[in-house]
Amino acid sequence: MSNPGEIAAVIRAVLEALPVDALRAANTAAGESAERIAAATEGTGHDAPREALAHIAEGIERTGEALAGLGEIRERLNAYLAVLVPGVEAMVARPIAGPAGKRPITPPNRRHHLNSVGRKSQVREENTVILPGTDVRGDLDAIRRGEAAWLPDRDRCLVNGRLYGVEVPGTVYPDEGPGLVKLNRSEYKALKGLIEARGDMDSLPSALANNPAVTGADWQRAAEVYEHHKDYRSEDT
Amino acid sequence: MGIEINFDSRTSAQRVQEVLCARYGIDPALLYVGDLGEYSGPRLIAYVTPAPEGERYFACVLEGGPEFDEAIGGLTELQLATLLCKELDTRALIDDGGGAATSWILVTADGWHGRVIVDDDRLDDEFVILEALQPVPSAPEIPVVEPPDWQKGWYKDGKIPTSGFDPDDWRKPSEAAG
Amino acid sequence: MDIAEVREHVAEAAADLPLAALQASLEVLDEQRSHLAEALSGTGSEDAKAALAAFEPVAERLRRAVAAYRAAVSCCDDYLDAV
């Protein structure tokens, strides 16, 4: 595979699939098991529970090391992803590069989250929608920890395969990457209409049905995105 | 691509329609003035929503679809906004094309345009200008702040919109030149 | 807590150790490493090579964690047999 776009797509998919959450959950579960065993066998005088607890402690420690290793993989892949984009130099080595090193950064406005898009959500020429399940909070934490790559030639932040920009007050906004969908003005309006009508094309708000700027292709694109909405039912649209 | 211009709420929606129909020979029946939710008739090419009673800021909105683009000869949003603001002695906000939702282009009655920052907390309800990214000649009372170092990242092509009196110096330069 | 309750607590806690989750993570890692190796073959990037090389130590840590939890389960079984 030599096409940088295809390689980047694979890297993004790999970043998304790395079992970071699973390992964190595993350590939480193991810790809880250890607490329960310790509480139940306290003062019994048997060696076996103590040995079991020592093994669990080792398991937790090894899993923690694996998590650190995943962090290294993530950093390397982000760095490579950054250089795949022409003219862009990754700066992962700097502790907190970009705006996050200069001012507190805050999460994207809720209008970007698919399940929070509402009738009044402001529409732009380009609107990036965050699909449910996308770990934007984790991305922000990574940016704050200095784990994101700052792309100086594009003035945007790259983390877990997702690009983010930063507004004047330090509000982060999503741009592109796994779990992010870009819609143009009329597609986003169509999406707002579908959400308001709970996916029922027959009960669209009349203002939107009459809107000369929204065409058939816009409804189609909006319907694809609406399939990820919490109110979507398969018989909709 | 479509046109969307948010005029100052004191702007007469009727006058916007009149100017557009007179200048571009558009059938007034296809350029509706009013609440689109109450419209029933032929497929429109554009509409103007008057600002609701008591609404301040920029709530008189012109929106057009692809046929409207054709009717106005492919003018950019900035070119059309500049022309209408001068003609109607008003001001308007248009999208600056970037990813930062708070950065908009203010077009003033003297034909000037430049970027302003609006209040993100109120953006889903109304446009409240907080500050400008360069002095606004006709509104020196708007506080001016330096754009952040990373403003280039707001724009897909990395080109920062210019400000000034010439609406042809920014966006779609090839079309503007033609 | 009587001995029956102790037995129940220990048995449940041992059953809740994340053996299956870690094994599933090992499989995910293996699968993703293969995808990545295929995509990066011939690219020559140091970051790409380093990322690929970092998969094996992670898998090794996970295998050790799995072994540790297996030993823990075995100790719990010994205890349950003894009481």
Complex ipTM, two decimals?
0.94
Contact (CB, 8 A) for C45 and C33: no
Residue A88 has pLDDT above 70, yes or no: no
Contact C79 A46 (CB under 8 A): yes
Question: Can you tell me the mean pLDDT for A101-116?
Answer: 86
Q: Are residues B98 and B50 in the same domain?
A: no
State residue A103's pLDDT score. Answer: 66
Give the pair of three-digit tokens for residue C55.
């998969």
State residue B172's pLDDT score. Answer: 45
In eight-state DSSP terms, residue A219 is H
Measured distance CA(A175)–CA(A4) in Å, rounded = 19
Contact B44 A212 (CB under 8 A): yes
Residue A122 has pLDDT above 60, yes or no: yes
Q: Are residues B13 and B60 in the same domain?
A: yes
Contacts of B153 in chain A (CB under 8 A): 154-156, 165-166
First to last CA, chain A: 38
A80 vs C45, C57, C66: nearest CB: C45
Band (pLDDT 50/70/90 cuts) for residue A44 is confident
Among B24, B55, B85, identify where a domain stops. Answer: B85
A98 vs B117, B150, B156: nearest CB: B150
CB of A207 within 8 Å of any CB in chain B? yes
State residue A233's pLDDT score. Answer: 86
State residue A1's pLDDT score. Answer: 52
Q: Answer whether residue B150 is part of any domain.
A: yes
State residue A5's pLDDT score. Answer: 76
Q: Which residue has the higher pLDDT, A9 or A180?
A: A180
Range of the structural domain that residue B46 is part of: 3-85
Contact A33 C16 (CB under 8 A): yes
How many domains does chain B contain in total? 2
State residue B169's pLDDT score. Answer: 60
Contacts of B124 in chain A (CB under 8 A): 111, 118, 120-122
Q: Where are the domains of chain C?
A: 3-82
Among B35, B54, B85, identify where a domain stops. Answer: B85
State residue B175's pLDDT score. Answer: 39
Q: Are residues B55 and B99 in the same domain?
A: no
State residue A8's pLDDT score. Answer: 83
Q: Answer whether residue B175 is part of any domain.
A: no
Measured distance CA(B126)–CA(B51) in Å, rounded = 11
Q: Answer whether residue B9 is part of any domain.
A: yes
Measured distance CA(B19)–CA(B84) in Å, rounded = 8
Residue A105 has pLDDT above 50, yes or no: yes
Four-CA torsion A183, A188, A191, A195, nearest 10 degrees = 130
Q: Are residues B9 and B81 in the same domain?
A: yes
State residue A94's pLDDT score. Answer: 38
Q: Which residues of chain B have pLDDT under 50?
A: 172-178
Residue A90 has pLDDT above 70, yes or no: no
Which has the minimum average pLDDT: A8-12, A82-86, B32-36, C11-15? A82-86
Contact A10 C39 (CB under 8 A): yes
Report phi then psi at C34, rounded to 5.
-65, -45
Contact A2 C71 (CB under 8 A): no
The residues in A 40-79 lying below 8 A from B, measured between CB atoms, are none
* Element at A38 (helix H, strand E): helix A20-41
The tens digit of pLDDT for each residue in B79-122 reads 999 999 999 999 999 999 999 999 999 999 999 999 999 998 88
HEC string for chain C: CCHHHHHHHHHHHHHCCCHHHHHHHHHHHHHHHHHHHHHHCCCCCHHHHHHHHCHHHHHHHHHHHHHHHHHHHHHHHHHHHHC
HSE toward the beta carbon, residue B99, CA cutoff 13 A: 30
State residue A223's pLDDT score. Answer: 94
Among B85, B120, B146, identify where a domain stops. Answer: B85
Q: Are residues B67 and B136 in the same domain?
A: no
Q: Answer whether residue B178 is part of any domain.
A: no
Residue A77 has pLDDT above 50, yes or no: yes
Q: How far is CA C60 from CA A31, A54, B52, C65, in A?
A: 21, 19, 66, 9
Residue C24 has pLDDT above 50, yes or no: yes
Q: Are residues B18 and B44 in the same domain?
A: yes
Closest-CA distance of chain A to residue C40, Å: 7
Report phi then psi at A175, rounded to 5.
-120, -70
Nearest-CA neighbor of B93 among C68, A51, A122? Answer: A122
Partners of B95 in beta bridges: B104
B158 vs A98, A111, A154: nearest CB: A154
Tell me which amino acid residue A99 is. P
Q: Answer whether residue B13 is part of any domain.
A: yes
Which has the minimum average pLDDT: A57-71, A127-141, B53-67? A57-71
Give the pair of three-digit tokens for residue B171.
């966006």
Touching partners of A (3+ C-beta pairs < 8 Å): B, C
Report phi then psi at A181, rounded to 5.
-125, 130
Contact B150 A211 (CB under 8 A): no
Q: What percent of chain A has pLDDT above 90? A: 39
